[in-house]
Amino acid sequence: MTEENMSLAELLQKSGDGDFLRMVAEAVLQILMENDVEGLIGAGRHERSADRLNYRNGYRNRTLDTRLGTLQLKIPKLRQGSYFPPFLEPRRTSEKALVTVIQEAWIGGVSTRRVEELVQAMGLSGISKSQVSKLCKDIDERVNAFLDRPIDGEWPYLWLDATYLKAREGGRIVSIAAIIAVAVNTDGRREIVGLGLGSSEAEPFWSSFLKGLVKRGLKGVKLVISDAHDGLRHAITRVLGATWQRCRVHWMRNALAHVPKGQHTMVAAAIRQAFLQADATTAHATWRHVADQLRPRWPKLAALMDESEHDVLAYTEFPAQHRTKLHSTNPLERLNKEVKRRADVVGIFPNEASITRLIGAVLLEQNDEWLLQHRYMQIEGMAELTPPAIEPEPVKLPPKAA
């Protein structure tokens, strides 16, 4: 395998929890052994057949130490003779083949021939298309359970970002937007709360995706951070009733497109003066002052600053402890790089289901890693997001008549 085909062992080192992939590895080997034994016996379990040559006789337990951890295997026993899986020796070679088989099945949508070649490298007779589906079934169930889980509690901050992937659709290769939603709750912890796929970024798509999050329990959203996707701003207002923060980093790139390359450093430094201010009032005043200074030379840039002032500076209205993570989608940068790197190995996905399988598994791993980390945001700042409760004045009863 090449360096770009990250082994599952390396994924486990990153995730900190190998139960998911270790169980997948055990399921893969069990299916392969059952398939191999059926070929030797000449019949399936409980199947009556004139071609039957032998009968099953229970199982014996056996462990297999791999880079994925210790696998617990149940080796089928035969009434006559014995069965020993060829992949158990030599272990080093078979382990590499095992990891590759799981990776290919995990990606999904690969040709049956590719998986069959890998299985034959382990000394087994082969694998059918239906067996490939079995290898992916457990992964699909876990990924779907993760993506459809209820969302409990209050989530004041929500980040949305899109990664574009290639997929086949009706004989054509089309671009599919994979929308990843990450949120932070009032305890300061972040989680991946959603994955959506679509070929259009019109408002109906965004509205449908956000309504799906709300249906699962997402509430209390006060600020949504994203790029300037078509239709998203209106969907945020209609579905969540939240403030929109336009990604500051991507906005700056768009702004500098109106300025000659030699002036980028100077103009960027001038605009950043607004970002250095301690409060929202000063930040807006500085923004307008800079826009007026730049207007004579670059009127298009000044017009963009006038139009997008409140969207780019929306984060300044929120607690100071949180602002460094609220002004852009940069907190998702590492996650998106991992998604793209894993997707580049596949190239063109055969369908949307295979995208959900791979990207969903990546998100599940990352979410598990985040749950083991410290709080992403200071919990003290969360108190500023909730206005203090107003205690009702005691009701004064009129004095009793004498």
The span from the CA of 214 to the CA of 286, in Å, is 37
pLDDT of amino acid 292: 96
**Residues whose CB is less than 8 angstroms from the CB of residue 155 and which lie 6 or more positions away in sequence, other chains included:** 183, 184, 185, 186, 193, 218, 219, 220, 221
* pLDDT of 93 higher than 60: no
* pLDDT of 158 higher than 90: yes
Q: Environment class of residue 105 by beta-carbon count within 10 Å: exposed (0-12), middle (13-18) or buried (19+)? A: buried
Q: What is the pLDDT of residues 223-243, one digit of tens each?
A: 999 998 878 888 999 999 999
Q: What is the pLDDT of residues 4-59, one digit of tens each?
A: 334 434 443 444 445 666 777 788 888 888 888 888 888 877 788 777 888 888 89
Q: Which 8-state DSSP code applies to residue 237?
A: I
DSSP assignment string, 122-139 = TT-----HHHHHHHHHHH
pLDDT of amino acid 336: 86
This prediction's pTM? 0.68
Q: What is the pLDDT of residues 282-303, one digit of tens each?
A: 999 999 999 999 999 999 999 9
The span from the CA of 115 to the CA of 104, in Å, is 7
Local confidence band at 190 (pLDDT 50, 70, 90 cut-offs): very high
**Comparing 230 with 185, which gets the higher pLDDT?**
185
Local confidence band at 374 (pLDDT 50, 70, 90 cut-offs): confident
Residues comprising the chain, all counted: 402
* pLDDT of 76 higher than 60: yes
Name the average pLDDT for the chain: 81
Average pLDDT over residues 69-86: 84
Range list of β-strands (E), 250-369: 348-349
* pLDDT of 200 higher than 80: no
Local confidence band at 100 (pLDDT 50, 70, 90 cut-offs): very low
Instruction: Specify the pairing of strand 172-184 against strand 190-198.
Output: antiparallel
The span from the CA of 151 to the CA of 214, in Å, is 9
